[in-house]
Amino acid sequence: MQLKRYTIGSFILMILVGLAVYSINTQSISFDILGIHFPNFPIAFWVLVPLALLYLASVLHMAVYVLVGNFKLRRLSRDHEKMVDALRDSLLGISERNYVFKSDAYKFMGKLIDNSLILPYENLRDIGNEKIDEALTLLADVKAHKKVDIKKFHLAHTTSLMIQNNLNRLERGELTADEVLSRHDTYGDVVCQKAYESYVKTASMGSVIKYKNLLTKSSLFTFLGRINNAENGIEMNNDELINLIKSLKLTNHDFINLSIALAKNMIPEQRIRLFESMSEQCDDVMEAYFYTLYDLQMIDTANELLNNTAHDEYQIFKAYRDLKRSNKHYDIAIFFRRYCD
């Protein structure tokens, strides 16, 4: 539009100049420049030639700048699209991002966005961009434990959004523990461990041991709580128990909690032998062994063992022993309730 106006204005100016010159002088001339002969034309014509050349040069100049401007606008447009994608990926928690921005206006922002995660406020649901709005809706729906179509986003199983969605599916029963555990590479550690926590409540001993690399303290205690239980009960000898317990690095407090958990259903003789065997292999089990003996009223055995320890060792149990000797009778469990909290 501007070029059209400029062209019309230029032609009007050239016509007016040509008419003005022609009205003053109607003669014609011819001349030679650099050996080139220019034919005989009115003076008004030769006055218009420089104006026409100036017009053509100015149009060419504008065309070059328009072309350069268009390239810049296209670069900005492409960078804008990349920025939208980068913002969407940041919202979705995609870690592998490497968008290359060409324009200075987007370069520093792009570098920041590529190395950031965006956590929007919960009340932000749309901003008027389709891609961003889809991501915001997905975030809200997954957080609300809704069923979503997440496949089209092609998220890796390691992203927090995919993990939460798979946990939601597991909770709704869309995924079974068997399905998750058999496809560890697909669902990852977090989802598999969550599935394993419910799996140990009913699965056979062999199946539980098969996936013992997913064992946690919580799932261990849940599983061992099934020993001799009336519902989903299991039977395990001490060697099998020790091998399973060794899968985790437990503290002396954890071993006491283990003894407390096993007290519900395990036969006392097996429980004593279990902690006796483990205490011979690991010093951290000794407190749990003392706890087990006192809990089962094996007072003489416990006192004899305590007498063979250093003066500053196992002070709680020695205090309990002294209370018993003074006819002060307390349940050993009250000294260790803080471990169970």
- Torsion angle of alpha carbons 199, 200, 202, 203, nearest 10°? 80
The SS3 call for residue 267 is coil
Q: Looking at 189-198, 208-217, 225-234, 290-299, which range is the least confident one?
A: 225-234
Domain ranges of the chain: 2-83, 249-341
DSSP code at position 174: S
pLDDT for 244 equals 92
Helices and strands (H and E) in the chain: how many: 16, 2
Q: What is the pLDDT of residues 198-209, one digit of tens each?
A: 999 999 988 999
- Mean pLDDT value across residues 226-234: 86
Phi, psi dihedrals of residue 47, rounded to the nearest 5°: -70, -35
Asked if the model's pLDDT at residue 31 lies above 80, the reply is: no
- Residue 220: pLDDT band (50, 70, 90) is very high
pLDDT for 190 equals 92
User: Which tokens is 55 given?
Assistant: 């017009």
DSSP code at position 39: E
Q: Beta strands of the chain (E only): which ranges?
A: 28-33, 36-42
More confidently predicted of 24 and 277: 277
The SS3 call for residue 66 is helix
CA–CA separation, 215 vs 223, rounded Å? 10
Write out the H or E segment, with its range, that includes residue 112: helix 104-114
The SS3 call for residue 31 is strand
Write out the H or E segment, with its range, that includes residue 33: strand 28-33
